[in-house]
Chains A and B, each alone.
Chain A
């Protein structure tokens, strides 16, 4: 199993450009998440999905959109990139939610480094 994969690994954008980050998981997980990681801020949740065709806003959703057309894929879109979106983006997935038996453990991808000039 590849686990959680992310493409691209690194990208440079100019202010105002758009792009899509792709996350794929082969663990048949229902739940998928997008985080951003910034120095001194830890990981912050952008958007998440509890199943195919569903999405919801997290802690810092502004400037991002997501789609979950297939269970194994979760896309993060930046419509008009801004320098404040320079960050490392991590996708994660989990089998279930708050079951309390460890199945809600989130597994992370390797990250996408995004630089917006």
Chain B
């Protein structure tokens, strides 16, 4: 079983729709949760960052973390064609499991490919 599971899609919705992207995880030590957006043939860029449980809103984007269910979500309101990209969830624990002091190990989901149709 993968530590982080993410539906790869593809997901196609009309412009203006509300989009819901989700990840589940198995490691209860994860405390930091991130969403990265990756345009085609580009590197991932950080979109949202959340520590522990709760909601965080940034413009049209809302990130939710439910640690009791080990489930995180990213909502996109009033979706735009420019939101078409692959969205990757990523998470990490407080303590570094790699052994070297201070280095953060990010565990990524597979990514969900999203297309917003005009």
Do A and B truly interact? Answer: yes
Tell me the minimal C-beta distance from B10 to chain A in angstroms: 12
Looking across the interface, which residue of chain B has its beta carbon closest to that of A44?
Answer: B108
Tell me the minimal C-beta distance from B17 to chain A in angstroms: 26
- Interface residues in B94-110 by Cβ distance below 8 A to A read 94-96, 98-106, 108-110
With beta carbons under 8 angstroms apart, the residue of A42, A50, A110 that contacts B43 is A110
- Interface of chain A, helix or strand or loop or mixed? loop
CA distance A48 to B106 in the complex (A): 12
CA distance A16 to B49 in the complex (A): 41
With beta carbons under 8 angstroms apart, the residue of B6, B45, B100 that contacts A50 is B100
Tell me the minimal C-beta distance from A109 to chain B in angstroms: 5
- Interface residues in B41-77 by Cβ distance below 8 A to A read 41-46, 49, 51
**Which residues of B come within 8 Å of A, CB atoms?**
4, 6, 8, 31-32, 34, 36, 41-46, 49, 51, 88, 90, 92, 94-96, 98-106, 108-111
